[in-house]
Structure 1
Amino acid sequence: MNPNHLIELDGLHVSPSILNAFEQVDGAKFLFHQDGSRVIQSTNPRFMAEMLECLQVQKGQRVLEIGTGSGLNAALISNLIGPEGTLHTVEVDPSVAKRAKAKLESSGIRNVKVICGDGFYGYHQSIPYDRIIAAAKPPFLPQPWIDQLAIGGILVTPLDLEALGDAYVIAFNKVSEHSLVSLSLMKGNFMRMAPSVEQLVLKSGKPNMVQTDFDIDRLQIRARRNPNRKNTWTDQVSFDAWDFEYIGL
């Protein structure tokens, strides 16, 4: 099956390197089971391409992915970083991680390591990362991700933003250990993160928030670490909270 018949990117304004990655990677191999059924643990390919555009991946970079899913996004990132780059991808579901690993290995991909575990904590054995991308929605900005990201690096993650009345995917630039500045913002909702496969809920868990009118293209979000306020992950480990300032709202 030709992956170009499955993934339609016409009309998207993305870099030639991303379009080339979609041409080079056999999308059908990752998106479909042997019986022809669709793999449910996968982001829409068009939105995947848009998120990769926000990530601004370069050759030779070290990348962390949270939420391996079908493995297609990992294969695309592998193509974008080249053999000199490295990708670590974390998946909470052992069966999903096992399938993705097998698909990546059978595709001859050698610069990707699949880790089964709680993606909230990232993966500290290859830090710092130049880029981090999440395909699962955390309840708040995970401090481990920010700690593992190099200064000047980019984090792309979905978040519920109450001030904007919806769920968004934000590309943050890490300008210091205590501050982030958004580079781009687009609507997009994902399944909620969970510390174990038993606690996964397939519904996205979109909150009931009041919509706010604003110009998304002119909005910038500045995030600053607040050690006086704490957020707690499900295992009761506390992390510093992040305060958001909305410029242009």
Structure 2
Amino acid sequence: MYEHLEYYGVSKKVIEAMNKIDRKLFVPPEYQDSAYVDTPLPIGYGQTISAPHMVGLMCEYLELREGNKVLEVGTGSGYNAAVMSLLVGPTGKIYTVEVVKPLYDRAKKIIQQLGLENVEVFLSDGKFGLEEFAPYDKITVTCYAKEIPPALIEQLSDGGILLIPVGDEYVQILKRIRKHGTKIAEESLGHVRFVPMV
């Protein structure tokens, strides 16, 4: 279904994981007809489910591996967490936080229905990360921030990767941060369009 994502540079491994998770389950009833279209869709409360190509690219940029411990800031629909759960495998773990309670409730229910035992959903303000399970091999943020929250860098493991859109409502750059001891290496991966961190 998502084979066209290879043109964006998404690997077959990531595409295979995306094909195994039915995006339609995470899309509100009024948008079911567009569930497989490569576009973001509203999920309520001012939030969206990202376009499939963006989900695929962010999984690639994170360099997810079997056994990785991942923090996701902004559960949203839960789709991204579900895809990542397959990429980190049964020895990996996805911790995902959502600040909007109805979205948290809905995502948690779907994740449980799918039997994804390596995903835990938390109702929490993501700008503070999730300190109790830190450090994380990978941290991904699915909403833009005006600046990188210090807590997220602090909770990143040595050698870890943080992926976050940074900017404002008009211009956002997807940043990839690599942490090596006390040193931080930052690279820009291009312009993106995300909803704001709330």
Alignment-mate amino acid for residue 176 of structure 2: A
Alignment of 1:123 with 2:164, yes or no, is no
Matches of 1:74 and 1:60 in 2, distance apart? Answer: 15
Matches within 5 A, 1:18-33: 18-33=14-29
Query: Matched residue pairs, number?
Result: 186
Matches of 1:154 and 1:45 in 2, distance apart? Answer: 21
1:28 Cα deviation from its structure 2 partner: 1.1
Which residue is equivalent to 1:197?
A: none
Larger relative contact order (CA 8 Å, sep ≥ 6) = 2
Alignment of 1:63 with 2:70, yes or no, is yes
Of Structure 1 and Structure 2, the greater helix share is in 2
Asked which structure has the greater CA Rg, the reply is 1
Alignment-mate amino acid for residue 172 of structure 1: I
Alignment-mate amino acid for residue 100 of structure 2: D
Match of 1:188 among 188, 192, 197: 192
Match of 1:144 among 146, 151, 158: 151
Which residue is equivalent to 1:208?
A: none
Matches of 1:33 and 1:66 in 2, distance apart? Answer: 25
Per-residue Cα deviation, 1:180-208 (whole angstroms, up to 9, x for no partner): 213551211211112xxxxxxxxxxxxxx
Alignment-mate amino acid for residue 137 of structure 1: Y
C-alpha change, 1:35 and 1:44, in structure 2 (3 Å) is closer
Judge conservation of contact 2:173–2:192 (CA < 8 Å) in 1: yes
Per-residue Cα deviation, 1:133-153 (whole angstroms, up to 9, x for no partner): 000112211111011000110
More displaced stretch, 184-193 vs 57-66 = 184-193
Gaps of 5+ in 1: 195-249
1:99 Cα deviation from its structure 2 partner: 0.4
Taking structure 1 as the reference length, what is the TM-score of the superposition? 0.69
Matches of 1:8 and 1:44 in 2, distance apart? Answer: 13
Match of 2:117 among 110, 116, 131: 110
Which residue is equivalent to 2:175?
A: 170
Alignment-mate amino acid for residue 17 of structure 1: K
1:16 Cα deviation from its structure 2 partner: 2.2
Taking structure 2 as the reference length, what is the TM-score of the superposition? 0.86
Per-residue Cα deviation, 1:10-57 (whole angstroms, up to 9, x for no partner): 522122221111121111111243883754321111111111110000
Matches of 1:173 and 1:84 in 2, distance apart? Answer: 23
Aligned residues: percent identity? Answer: 32
Match of 1:11 among 4, 7, 14: 7
Judge conservation of contact 1:169–1:189 (CA < 8 Å) in 2: no
Alignment-mate amino acid for residue 93 of structure 1: V
Alignment-mate amino acid for residue 185 of structure 1: L
Q: Structure 1 residue runs of 4+, over 2 Å off?
A: 7-10, 31-41
1:108 Cα deviation from its structure 2 partner: 1.1
Partner secondary structure for residue 83 of structure 2? helix
Partner secondary structure for residue 146 of structure 2? coil
Gaps of 5+ in 2: 34-40
Judge conservation of contact 2:81–2:119 (CA < 8 Å) in 1: yes
Judge conservation of contact 2:158–2:181 (CA < 8 Å) in 1: yes
Matches of 1:147 and 1:159 in 2, distance apart? Answer: 17
Judge conservation of contact 1:39–1:70 (CA < 8 Å) in 2: no
